[in-house]
Each structure stands twice: as C-alpha cells, then as structure tokens.
C-alpha cells in the first residue's frame, strides 16, 4: 500500500494544523502511555482555549512565548497554539538549568512562558519567576501570573477560563484575523552545542513544514499509526520529525511520564507497540552492548562460532527477530540521528534485518538534510539528500573529502540577534556551512568523516577524525564512552569505563584502591593496544586517561567537547 504525499495550500504550521484537525477528527492525536488519547478534534479545541488565554494577556503575533517543560501531550498543544496564532515559540530543553532557561527567555524577549509543574517547583527554590505578562503551568494550563491586564478581563478571569472567549469578543478579535506567511518566524531554538556557545536558531514556518513534507518522500506514514516519543521535544529532531510530521500524517504520538530508563522503555514499547520511533545512537548501542552481544559470548564454543561470518549472520537474524518483539512487534521505522552510529552496531542491525534508518541534519536545517528508507540504507552511509535539498562539497582533498554546504527551503533564517555569526555560516547564495566533513558516493549517499572544527592534524600532516576513533574505542569491552583529542601533539583518549561491568568481572568493589587503580590502568592499556591494531599508524592513540565521571552531553547525547579539551 502506498500513500499519496500530502500537499498543503501554504507551507505554514497553521495550514498544516488546519488540514490535520479537519481531516483526522476523532482519530487519536497525542497521549501519555496508559492514559486516554486526545483526539485531533479535542487537540484543536485545546489549541483554541490556549490562544484565547494568550490573546487576553496581550500576546500578539510576533511575540515570543517560552515553553520550558518535559514531554507531554500539552507540550504539543501549546506549541501549535502559539505558532498557529502567529506568535513565536521558544522551546527550552528541560535539561537546561533554570538560570539558563531564564537567560534564554530574557534574550528572546519572551512575553509569556509555559513551564511544567516539576520545573516550576525547582524555579521557586532557586530564583524569582520572570517578569513577564503571563506565566502558565503547562501540565494543567493553570495561570500563575497576570500583569497589566484590562480590569474587565481580570473580573472575567475570576469566573474561570471558560469565560475567556467572551472577554476576547470585548477586547476585539483583530489577532484572530492575522495572516501567517511562509517566511514568518515560527520558533527560536537555543542550541546546546558541543562548542559551548548557545545560539538562538530562527526557523520559519516554511523551514519546518517543508522539512516535514519532505520526510514523506522517505517513508509513508498512515493515519493512526503509533509513534513512541522518547527524545526531548524542545530539540528540533524530535519536534519536526517526531511531532509535526506525524501530526501532518494523522498518526498518534505517545509520551512517557518518566525518564525512559530501559525498564520503563521496554514496558512502554510493549504497551504502545509503536510503528515508529526516533532515537539517538546511544540507545541502540547500549542495547547491543549490554543485552545482545553478551548472548554471543556466553561460552567458548558460541564465542568461536560467532567469528564465522555465515553463522554470525544467522545468529544476528535470530537476535533481530527477538529485538523487534522487544520493541512491541510492529516497529517498521527506527530512526537514528543526532550523532554517529557505531559501525559494529550498524553491521548488527543490517544483518539482523532491523528496520533502522540514519538521518542527518542540524538545528539550523530544521533539522533533516539527508536520510534513507530502511530498505535503502547503505553501510556507514547517511543517505541521499531529502527532497528539495542540495549539497555541495567545498575545499575537497584528493580523495573527494570536503566541507559540506547545504541549500534548501529548510535552511534557517539566521541566528537571533547575531548577524555576524549568521554571516559566518551562510553565504550570499543561501548556502549553509554544516561544518561537517565527508564525501558523496556515486549513488549520492553522504558519508560523514567528522566535524571540521574537531579535526586533528597528525605529525605527518594527515587528517585524524576523532569521532571515527571514538566509535572504535567505544566498541571495546568495558568502555562506556570516550573522547579523543590532541594533548600537546600527543593523541590522547579519555575513557569512561562501564564500572558496573568492570566490577562484575574483576570484583573491584572488594579490592583496595591501589589494586583497583592498577587493574584500571591494565585494562586501559589493553584497550589502547587493541584499538591501535585496527587503525592507521598515523592515528594511533599514544595515551589513555581514565575519565572518572560520566561525560556531560548535549540533548542528542554528544559529548560537550569544549569542557574537556
């Protein structure tokens, strides 16, 4: 069965939302796992109610509204309420400290803010609520603060939110008649990149909606198919591809009330039986390393058989069927993005016939630039450009490896209040510098080598890509995570060990501190030697350092390199 691509009269979130709310009506739209679903009609009614609150408190088209909350059905409802009235949503990652969230809301000049109950309680302990027109608890849409509202409206509000529509009529409904254009600003997303400088990325309605529509060219999505959402909605990856895209297609999106630990995630997948999931590499890499690989190393015989290619493939195929059952039995699209996937894990997914797809993009590109249908993936490749996007490789070397520039309807307007930084990454022709290095093969698939700013130049002039070395290190036994960097011309790896497994094998909790350090040093050296046997001589690791605390990471689980280099 093949579904015809959806076409909209305008590339705006209002046009998209009007289409979906009228077409899918009583179909389930959003819900918590185990809770009652909210239909598309109910969703639309809730959007209208929130817009009436915003209008009443003087929020007009073009005004900025902060959204600082964990994933929940109301997150999606608030997002569409703000953007479809012509105001600008400023999503703030719940991982951001309250002081960072306040800085963002101030820098973006937000006039209203929605905050989850949990984060509001944290805020009260640490800081005064911001001086804005309106502060609302996202979970319950409870109004906490009202400033300089008309006295007539104050009287009405005492009777409850259900009377807000009458207040709207008396205040005038000129805001309702606002026409939203495709190039209007829809959202400002503050990145938490690995470089340490958070930038406000301005994305238009056209940027976001064109990206969702282009995603249809990769995979057909049918009404009432189920999505399990586990990544933060305040990140563009989950927001565009895990919320806007499924709502365009009439799917239902299921949110988890608690952080997605393995136990909670497995229970949720069993309940929801999702057709679609979006994740970062860390999720599937941990499943492979902690749950799947140990089954192939239970004894010497199995370990030996696993080295035989055709037997390994058969074992992987059996494991793949079990993995699909663990995911609920219906998964047909498992999207992986946000960081590079380990080649070892990808080989397993391919041989296991698991329906994975690797996507590539940035916040600045709304986010998707390239990707492939699960049936068309290529080993170690990302995929061809999505519909409407062009790639250019600039400053190529003799092997065709260069810096990737992209152009398309999904490229950002620019960085908020920062024309200088915008000019650094965008040229006059509308091309955007991704600052990623790689090459494109004869099938137009993009292969990424690493980030331009992370390249290390070896002693003999060769380019060393730390990300590639890190995937090899991370595949080693006892390694949880790693970071490769140039330490005064000495290629060094910081390694964070899997201390639970380390203790399980070596019983370090029962050893003295001296003996524990000696065993750690021995294992780190063994890891270094194993890695160096599998890489080019010019990129061999000279020194390893134990990383005692877990690396601090971005929302897509990339290490914040600037903190350690």
CATH number of the domain to which 114 belongs: 3.40.50.12780
pLDDT single digits (tens) 339-361: 889 999 999 999 999 999 999 99
Element (H, E) at 81: helix 73-83
Whole-number pLDDT of residue 269: 96
Residue 221 placed within a domain: no
CATH number of the domain that 482 lies in? 3.30.300.30
Number of domains in the chain: 3
Do 247 and 370 share a domain, yes or no? yes
Do 459 and 449 share a domain, yes or no? no
Q: Reduced to 3 states, what is the DSSP secondary structure of residue 390?
A: strand
Q: What is the DSSP string of 109-172?
A: TEEEEEE-HHHHHHHHHHSPPP--SEEEETTTTEEEEE-S--HHHHHHHTT-GGGHHHHHHHH-
Do 151 and 35 share a domain, yes or no? yes
Helix axes 73-83, 40-56, angle to 10 degrees: 60
Q: Are strands 432-440 and 446-451 parallel, antiparallel or unpaired?
A: antiparallel
Do 441 and 476 share a domain, yes or no? no
Whole-number pLDDT of residue 129: 66
Residue 70 placed within a domain: yes
Residue 376 placed within a domain: yes
pLDDT single digits (tens) 174-216: 445 799 999 999 999 998 654 455 789 999 999 999 999 999 9
Do 373 and 258 share a domain, yes or no? yes
Residue 234 placed within a domain: no
Do 429 and 492 share a domain, yes or no? no
Residue 220 placed within a domain: no
Whole-number pLDDT of residue 123: 86
CA–CA distance, 38 with 379 (Å, rounded to integer): 40
Domain closes at, from 168, 193, 211: 211
4-13 burial string, b = 16+ CB within 10 Å, else e?
Answer: eebebebbbb
Do 202 and 254 share a domain, yes or no? no
CA–CA distance, 236 with 37 (Å, rounded to integer): 24
Q: Reduced to 3 states, what is the DSSP secondary structure of residue 482?
A: strand
For the sheet containing 490-497, what is the strand order? Answer: 479-487, 490-497, 543-546
Query: How many Cα atoms sit within 13 Å of 369 on the Cβ side?
Result: 28
Whole-number pLDDT of residue 457: 85
Residue 416 placed within a domain: yes
CA–CA distance, 564 with 363 (Å, rounded to integer): 23
pLDDT single digits (tens) 110-131: 999 999 999 999 888 777 666 7
Q: For the whole model, what pTM was predicted?
A: 0.88
Instruction: Find where tokens 């709304």 sit.
Output: 366
Q: Where are the alpha helices (DSSP H) in 257-327?
A: 262-272, 281-287, 300-305, 309-326
CA–CA distance, 194 with 392 (Å, rounded to integer): 24
pLDDT single digits (tens) 273-324: 999 999 999 899 989 988 899 999 888 999 899 999 999 999 999 999 999 9
Do 297 and 444 share a domain, yes or no? yes
Q: Which residues constitute the domain of residue 152?
A: 13-211
Q: Mean pLDDT by 10-residue block, N- to C-terminus, for the chain (565 residues)?
A: 78 98 97 97 98 96 97 98 98 90 92 96 78 93 66 41 47 64 97 66 98 96 96 96 98 94 92 97 90 90 92 96 96 93 94 97 97 96 96 95 97 96 95 97 95 84 89 92 93 95 88 90 95 91 95 85 89
Do 468 and 434 share a domain, yes or no? no
Residue 462 placed within a domain: yes
Do 386 and 461 share a domain, yes or no? no
Do 206 and 295 share a domain, yes or no? no
Do 410 and 501 share a domain, yes or no? no
Q: Phi/psi of residue 548, each to 5°?
A: -75, -30
Domain closes at, from 453, 482, 503: 453
Q: Which two tokens stand for residue 33?
A: 């796992």
Q: Phi/psi of residue 12, each to 5°?
A: -130, 155
Whole-number pLDDT of residue 139: 97
Q: Which two tokens stand for residue 455?
A: 């390249």
Q: Where are the alpha helices (DSSP H) in 327-441?
A: 343-351, 419-425
Residue 230 placed within a domain: no
């Amino acid at each position: 069965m093949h579904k015809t691509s959806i076409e909209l009269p305008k590339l705006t979130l209002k046009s998209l939302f009007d289409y979906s709310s009228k077409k899918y009506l009583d179909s389930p739209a959003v819900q918590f796992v185990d809770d009652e679903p909210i239909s598309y009609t109910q969703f639309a009614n809730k959007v209208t109610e929130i817009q009436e609150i915003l209008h009443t408190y003087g929020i007009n088209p073009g005004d900025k509204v902060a959204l600082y909350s964990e994933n929940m059905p109301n997150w999606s409802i608030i997002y569409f309420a703000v953007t479809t009235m012509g105001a600008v949503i400023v999503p703030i990652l719940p991982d951001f400290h309250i002081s960072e969230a306040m800085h963002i809301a101030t820098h973006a000049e937000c006039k209203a803010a929605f905050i989850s109950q949990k984060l509001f309680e944290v805020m009260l302990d640490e800081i005064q609520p911001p001086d804005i027109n309106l502060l609302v608890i996202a979970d319950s849409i409870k109004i906490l603060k009202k400033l300089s509202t008309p006295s007539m409206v104050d009287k009405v509000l005492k009777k409850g939110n259900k009377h807000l529509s009458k207040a709207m009529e008396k205040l005038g409904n000129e805001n309702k008649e606002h026409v939203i254009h495709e190039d209007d600003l829809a959202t400002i997303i503050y990145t938490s990149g690995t470089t340490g400088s958070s930038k406000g990325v301005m994305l238009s309605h056209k940027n976001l909606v064109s990206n969702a529509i282009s995603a249809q060219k990769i995979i057909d999505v049918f009404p009432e198919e189920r999505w399990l959402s586990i990544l933060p909605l305040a990140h563009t990856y989950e927001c565009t591809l895990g919320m806007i895209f499924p709502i365009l297609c009439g799917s239902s999106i299921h949110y988890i009330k608690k952080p997605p630990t393995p136990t909670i995630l497995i229970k949720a997948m069993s309940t929801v039986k999702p057709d679609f999931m979006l994740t970062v590499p860390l999720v599937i890499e941990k499943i492979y390393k902690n749950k799947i690989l140990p089954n192939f190393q239970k004894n010497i015989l199995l370990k030996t058989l696993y080295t035989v290619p055709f037997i390994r493939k058969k074992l992987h195929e059996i494991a793949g069927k079990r993995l699909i059952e663990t995911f609920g039995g219906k998964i047909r699209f498992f999207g992986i993005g946000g960081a590079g996937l380990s080649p070892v894990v990808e080989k397993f997914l391919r041989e296991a016939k698991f329906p994975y797809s690797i996507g590539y993009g940035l916040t600045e590109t709304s986010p998707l630039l390239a990707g492939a249908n699960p049936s068309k993936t290529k080993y170690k490749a990302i995929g061809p450009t999505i519909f409407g996007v062009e790639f250019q490789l600039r400053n190529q070397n003799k092997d065709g490896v260069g810096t990737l520039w992209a152009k398309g309807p999904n490229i950002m307007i620019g960085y908020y209040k920062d024309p200088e930084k915008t000019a650094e990454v965008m040229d006059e022709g509308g091309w955007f510098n991704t600052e990623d290095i790689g090459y494109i093969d004869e099938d137009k698939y993009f292969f990424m080598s690493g980030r331009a700013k992370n390249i290390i130049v070896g002693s003999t002039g060769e380019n060393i890509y730390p990300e590639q070395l890190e995937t090899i290190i991370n595949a080693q036994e006892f390694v949880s995570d790693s970071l490769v960097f140039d330490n005064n011309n000495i290629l060094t790896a910081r390694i964070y060990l899997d201390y639970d497994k380390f203790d399980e094998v070596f019983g370090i909790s029962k050893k003295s501190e001296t003996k524990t350090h000696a065993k750690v040093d021995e294992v780190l050296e063994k890891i270094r030697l194993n890695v160096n046997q599998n890489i080019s001589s010019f990129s061999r690791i000279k020194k390893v350092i134990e990383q005692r605390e877990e690396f601090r990471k971005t929302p897509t689980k990339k290490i914040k390199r600037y903190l350690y280099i």
